[in-house]
Amino acid sequence: MTAETSEYGNYSLMTIKASTLDASNGPELKSEFVMLNSQGVKNIVVDMSACTYCDSSGLRALLVANRLCDDAIGTLILFGLQPDVENIFRLSMLHTMFLIVHTREEAEELLLRKESM
């Protein structure tokens, strides 16, 4: 299992369990995001703290999740990026496309602020 999902009030928390997001598990992760979306989930917070490597397949799954949340008028927030993974996001300029925070608490605060707008 690549990830574990828990439901909270206004969002789903997806905790990445794999140390790598790559071609071996990226499609599975993408399927999990699609399934959440089909169940009506519009806000997803992703805990990336266990992930130390992410290639294009992992990035693609996260981009799909971001698009699905946007299409549902929701939000995707990533937190806990390890230095090497954060570097990949910065080198590919994807840090400008994603909402990235340091902690789950910051993600929850951001969701509350967005909903009160």
DSSP result, 15-64 = EE--SEESTTTHHHHHHHHHHHHHTT--EEEEE-TT--EE-HHHHHHHHH
CATH value at residue 65: 3.30.750.24
The pLDDT of 17-36, averaged and rounded, is: 95
Write down how long the chain is.
117
Distance (Å, whole) CA 43 – CA 13: 9
The pLDDT of 75-96, averaged and rounded, is: 96
Instruction: Give the structural domain span for 50.
Output: 3-115
Q: How far is CA 27 from CA 2, 8, 83, 113, in A?
A: 10, 25, 23, 32
Task: Check whether 106 has a pLDDT greater than 80.
Answer: yes
Q: What is the pLDDT of residues 33-77, one digit of tens each?
A: 999 999 999 999 999 999 999 999 999 999 999 999 999 999 999
The total domain count for the chain is 1
Confidence grade of residue 22 (pLDDT, cut at 50, 70, 90): very high
